[in-house]
Chains A and B, each alone.
Chain A
């Protein structure tokens, strides 16, 4: 498979450059579409069910995107903008739960699952590889040698 990405990548860069060069009327600071999209992508659209504010085609989401932009332009940090929405809608509005307190649990779940799975498989593989290894080692001993050992051990008493 040949992945031809050169044109795509150049286009992408070009867009970035154009985006950076084309300055808005500059209030407190310029805010790019990408910045708004980033924050809006983490907020749950309140009139839809599971779309983000960034993705939803609804009017409410459009207004919320405008509010995000405005607050960023007014000089608020992304964290402050997000907090503004959380203060009004509760944690429910965050599509990605916070990595602290109770909601840290949901973030730990995949780690625990993988760790537990690997531990179980690790123990099993360890157990399973040991058994055949010993029998195989026994089998590998030269028959003549085995015969000698037998004779010698039998001769002992």
Chain B
């Protein structure tokens, strides 16, 4: 009996491999968690399209929403632009700053985008891509939520909705600045 039984291990040996492949259905290869969540946000010093200096340092004590976008990113960036503008208006008096970083873009196209959506929050180009790499972005749109102490608390990939923005920002507002 035992002399014959072991040979059934041959077909059984395929099972772990098949199980691993089946496990593959549960994961999304395009979804990579950011190692930056929970760590201090990388500082940046940009110049907005209006010519004003824009640094992360200057926002210390506020909740900062950093949004990476581009004018060629259709439709996701076009969907979320009104959401960002709405939230900025709703939250600006409660200590929230929305910052737009335009990457891999042409200045004229980006400025047209800002005009079209009447964006009033600070927006700056990142011509060298340094800020986007500092934040470990993969593409656009991606949004980072930074708490009052300057740490990245969450990252959102894809178009934002009012719902996502509120659930991310509200808890951070409740935290002390110290």
Contacts and interface: CB of A to CB of B under 8 A. Distances in A.
Interface residues of B, number: 17
Contacts of A47: 138-139
Interface in B93-108: 104
Contacts, number: 46
A67 interface: yes
B136 A88 contact: yes
Interface in B20-46: 32-36
A46 interface: yes
Given A47-B139, A59-B104, A63-B104, A92 B133 contact: no
Contact of B129 (A64, A89, A90): A64
Nearest to B126: A63
B138 A88 contact: no
A87 to B, nearest CB: 6
Interface centre among B133, B135, B137 (most CB of A within 10 A): B133
Given A47-B138, A67-B130, A67-B133, A89 B32 contact: yes
Nearest to A58: B104
Contacts of A87: 35-36
Interface of A: 46-47, 59-60, 63-64, 66-67, 85-90, 92
